[in-house]
């Protein structure tokens, strides 16, 4: 299934976190927090301004980003969890 986000929306695939600590302790699924990092899968055309012109987004497909903890809406696409969010929910782009 293909999805194209609208306006300033972004589709993000969360990155998987380590299953165990540096000391070798395995973390159970119930104790894990959802990661706040991900890879941008698709971006919308940009936000429409009051003057009728679109403002392009700063992120692009393939960027690794850091986003706020409760950002966006979780959806499943072909059995894989993704997050739909606005550009405002992004805290930064990781190098």
77: Cβ contacts below 8 Å, ≥ 6 apart = 1, 3
Average pLDDT over residues 4-29: 78
pTM of the model: 0.78
CA distance 28 to 20: 9
Strands (E), 8-50: 9-14, 37-43, 47-48
User: Among residues 36, 8, 18, which one has the least CA distance to residue 92?
Assistant: 36
> Residue 30, SS3?
helix
The predicted-structure confidence for 67-79, as pLDDT tens digits, reads as follows 988 888 999 988 8
9-15+33-94: CATH number: 2.30.33.40
Task: For tokens 């600590």, name the residue.
Answer: 21
Domain boundaries, the chain: 9-15+33-94
Average pLDDT over residues 11-30: 73
Burial class (CB in 10 A: 0-12, 13-18, 19+), 38: buried
């Amino acid at each position: 299934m293909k999805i194209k986000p609208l306006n300033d929306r972004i589709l993000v695939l969360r990155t998987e976190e380590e299953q165990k600590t540096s000391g070798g302790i395995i973390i159970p699924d119930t104790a894990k927090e959802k990661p706040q990092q991900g890879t941008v899968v698709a971006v919308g055309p940009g936000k429409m301004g009051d003057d009728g012109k679109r403002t392009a987004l700063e992120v692009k497909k393939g960027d690794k980003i850091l986003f706020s903890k409760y950002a966006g809406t979780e959806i499943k696409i072909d059995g894989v969890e993704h997050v739909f969010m606005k550009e405002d929910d992004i805290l930064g782009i990781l190098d």
